[in-house]
Structure 1
Amino acid sequence: MADVELRHLATMAAIVEEGTFGRAGTRLGYTQSTVSQQIAALEKSVGGPVFERPGGPKPVRITPLGAVVLEQGRGLLAKAEALADAVERFKAGDGRIDIGTFQSVSNVILPSVVRRLRDERPGCDIRLSEVPDGPRIGDLDLLFHDRPVEGDVEYVKLIDDPYLLVARPGDFPDGPVALKQLDGRPMVGCHPTCDQLWMDRALADAGARPRIVFRSPGNETILSMVRAGLGWAVLPWLALQGSGTRSDDRLRIHELRPAPTRGIYLHWPARSSRSPLAVRAIEIAIEIATEIQPT
């Protein structure tokens, strides 16, 4: 059975559909002798005749063995056609891509990446997942994170993302605010596994120890508590983009001095063959990062 070839099965299916070897050969672009040779090779592989040949112009009849071969052969031909189609889609840039992301990137950079990919390749399958703290590339094609991740990966730094102070109007004078001015004042913070560890170190280095009055991993929840007057917050520039914060008259955004900054990185598996879809996604992410770079 190892000698059965897809072309032999395709020829057999054409004969059944056309009724004669001659018409099948015309359809496939083969001579009648070539059709006969392929069926002979198929019959040798399966160990018996697949057609009864009445001779002349009369239609051939499929044998019981031939019916079994045809049924299974059509399944193989369908799978082969699906494989060829998938390969062509892959080469053309369609197919599937799995992307790991986190909150700030999901709000700003990633939607633009997804929109442009789908505009350029409507048939692509884009799968997104929020990654935990300390992520690894695993089975992902691409991974966004706010620092380089461990493992056998390559990466590009997309942007430097500065932290900004968000408070109510009048809580601080207009303009930049020194970190040491935050000492002892009520702060709405992130969970320790989020940006808070970074901020705790930056504040401590500046001699500031604010009072944490509430913690949440959700940026919108943090902003809501600032609006309510519970305290001020420090959030990355990227988290405030597209949130409507700058036009909210209940909030004021201040630069910090010195300005704590994190990097935004895009990773992919090292030494692996990247699909055209992944390559294009990386290009788009870099283009978007250049467009939105904080000034």
Structure 2
Amino acid sequence: MELRQLRYFVAVAEEGGFGRAAERIGIVQSAVSQQIRRLERELGAVLFDRSTRRVRLSAAGERLLPEARLVLAAAERVREVAAGISEGAVGVLRLGTIHGDRLYRALTALAETRPGLQVRLQRLPVVERLAAVREGRLDAALVRAVVEAPGLRLVPLRTDPLYAAVPARHPLAERPRLGLGDLAELPLRLAARERNPPFHDLVTDALRDAGVTAVPGPAFTSLRETLAEIAVGTPSWTVFYDVSGLPPAPGVVIRPLAGPAVVTSLAVREGEPSAGLRELVTVVKRCFPDEGAL
């Protein structure tokens, strides 16, 4: 059974004749008659009473006509949905996510412009996130500080400054802005590379480029715990980027860090991104323009 046969069947039923149905469809009458007979043979039922001058539906035809219309309507709906997916208006976008309330505000804005586009978020470590995009388990992934991803394309979304946190009692706390050279003698609290390879490499590469040999400090745990230890412990410092606003930190001063900045990118497979991904990029850039490197 073919969709065109059902379309011919409905057209003949509505027009009351093969000739008028052929004119409506834009083909010759013999083609309509031939396809209707094929449909009748396949279904094992006579669809039209041809004994009168006006073609009329048989009992079987009357029963099958609503079903044929439902099938054709469903097929049209499939075409509409496919067109919407192509245009980025509908569909499912599987997105590897990162921490931060900016993302959720962007997704709220995306829902307003593309209500038919569903975004399914999955939180994974950055290495696994990128692997999931390569393997097709994710359509894209948001990443920070990643400068290269073999087999993938990185679409920059925004650039954010880094911040240094030092004890409020330390002389460096009086400066409005800090450079890596200013911090050379303070022990650095930096998370182990395996926890976040891109960010670890960003910091260590920036230190090397600045000619600074960092003094290793106590291990970085969480940001809040680390800031609390900086406030009361032996003088040390840490570096971080703003995720959802600078945290309150009694006994600690947070200053913009000159030099390096962290870039948030969308990692996608090579080739043209889908319309849904392009719309996501547009919304993120519109809602959250670059803060820029300080």
Q: Structure 2 length normalisation: TM-score?
A: 0.69
Whether the aligned pair in 1 keeps the contact of 2:232 and 2:251 (CA below 8 Å) is: no
State the shift of 1:94 in Å: 0.8
State the shift of 1:127 in Å: 2.2
> 1:46 & 1:233 partners in 2: Cα distance?
82
> 1:112 & 1:27 partners in 2: Cα distance?
53
Query: What is the match of residue 139 of structure 2?
Result: 141
> 1:250 & 1:130 partners in 2: Cα distance?
33
> 2:192 & 2:29 partners in 1: Cα distance?
72
CA pair 24-84 structure 1, distance change in 2 beyond 3 A: farther
Specify the SS of the correspondent of 1:85. Answer: helix
Whether the aligned pair in 2 keeps the contact of 1:166 and 1:251 (CA below 8 Å) is: yes
CA pair 203-170 structure 1, distance change in 2 beyond 3 A: same
The root-mean-square deviation of aligned C-alpha atoms, in Å, is 4.2
Unaligned stretches of 5+ residues in structure 2: none
Whether the aligned pair in 2 keeps the contact of 1:157 and 1:263 (CA below 8 Å) is: yes
Unaligned stretches of 5+ residues in structure 1: 216-220
Identity among equivalent pairs (%): 17
Whether the aligned pair in 2 keeps the contact of 1:13 and 1:70 (CA below 8 Å) is: no
State the shift of 1:83 in Å: 1.6
Query: What is the match of residue 253 of structure 2?
Result: 252
CA pair 206-29 structure 1, distance change in 2 beyond 3 A: same
Q: Residue by residue, what CA displacement relative to the aligned partner does 1:215-256 show, whole Å, maximum 9, x if unpaired?
A: 2xxxxx4224524646666343333xx3352x6656421234
Query: What is the match of residue 267 of structure 2?
Result: 267
State the shift of 1:121 in Å: 1.7
Residues 1:61 and 2:62 are matched in the alignment: no
CA pair 199-212 structure 1, distance change in 2 beyond 3 A: farther
Q: Residue by residue, what CA displacement relative to the aligned partner does 1:38-81 show, whole Å, maximum 9, x if unpaired?
A: 354132255254315163679522449x968985x567535412
Query: What is the match of residue 101 of structure 2?
Result: 107
Q: Which consecutive segments of 4 or more residues in structure 1 shift more than 6 A?
A: 23-29, 33-36, 66-70
CA pair 45-67 structure 1, distance change in 2 beyond 3 A: same
Specify the SS of the correspondent of 2:125. Answer: coil
CA pair 143-58 structure 1, distance change in 2 beyond 3 A: closer
Query: What is the match of residue 156 of structure 2?
Result: 157
Equivalences for residues 118-267 of structure 1 within 5 A: 118-134=111-127, 135-136=130-131, 137-138=133-134, 139=136, 140-145=138-143, 146-167=145-166, 169-171=168-170, 172-175=172-175, 176-177=177-178, 178-183=182-187, 187=189, 189=191, 192-194=194-196, 195-196=199-200, 198-199=202-203, 206-215=212-221, 221-227=222-228, 229=231, 234-239=238-243, 242-245=244-247, 251-256=252-257, 259-267=259-267
CA pair 289-154 structure 1, distance change in 2 beyond 3 A: farther
Structure 2 letter corresponding to 1:61: S
State the shift of 1:85 in Å: 1.4
State the shift of 1:27 in Å: 10
> 1:28 & 1:123 partners in 2: Cα distance?
37
